[in-house]
Amino acid sequence: MSVEEVSQKLEAVSVSNDDTPKTVLTDSNNFEVKHPLNSKWTLWYTKPAVDKSESWSDLLRPVTTFETVEEFWAIVQNIPEPHELPLKSDYHVFRGDIRPEWEDEANAKGGKWSFQLRGKGSDIDELWLRTLLAVIGETIDEEDSQINGVVLSIRKGGNKFALWTRSEDEQALRNIGAKFKQVLKLTEDGHLEFFPHSSANERHAQPTIVL
């Protein structure tokens, strides 16, 4: 093959490259292709009460929705990271129109995998991001979507992660719990606890599954 022929071929390749649609990686401002997520997700925020007259419904508000990877990153880049949030704040990311309340029809028969991160570790931002990525990427769910949402609660005694499920199917929950432990980088000492929402009103509810 002559040099001219090679040059022509290279030109042809470069022309074909120009025809490919721009992605977020090739042009972060003017990309055309977006990576769709399996579901639409809603970001909710619970504001800490600064006035005694404020009720739970006043404090919990939807912030925005996203259904592509690119929209997700745009949101994450612009909202405060968990360590910047005031105490008694919550971030909730829930599927579709599911409200982050156990009374919601989609949550009523399910429960939550819960983990409390003791101490003021700086890795809360990383763990929250890993949890979000595992949830919206649907890799924490094996088959059909058992997960309704995920919650991060900023508390004085220790920040809490909770993965909300739509059912109490033990085998499915154990699979999800095992993956959730990997996402949170938990060792043998770290315990995940599953609480069904049916026991949400009990004062000293005990977990039905511990991993």
Residues that bind another protein (CB under 8 A): 24-25, 28-29, 35-38, 45, 47-48, 50, 63-66, 69-75, 77-80, 84-87, 89, 130, 133-134, 136-139, 183
Minimum CB distance to another protein, residue 83 (Å): 12
Taking the complex as a whole, the smallest distance from the CB of residue 120 to another protein amounts, in Å, to 16
Nearer to another protein, 144 or 188 (CB): 144
**CB 10 to another protein: min, Å:** 27
Q: How far is the CB of 62 from another protein (least distance, A)?
A: 10
Nearer to another protein, 44 or 102 (CB): 44
What is the 3-state secondary structure of the chain? CCHHHHHHHHHHHHHHHHHCCCCCCCCCCCCCCCCEEEEEEEEEEECCCCCCCCCHHHHEEEEEEEEEHHHHHHHHHHCCCHHHCCCCCEEEEEECCCCCCCCCCCCCCCEEEEEEECCCCCCHHHHHHHHHHHHHCCCCCCCCCCEEEEEEECCCCCEEEEEEECCCCHHHHHHHHHHHHHHCCCCCCCCCEEEEHHHCCCCCCCCCEEC
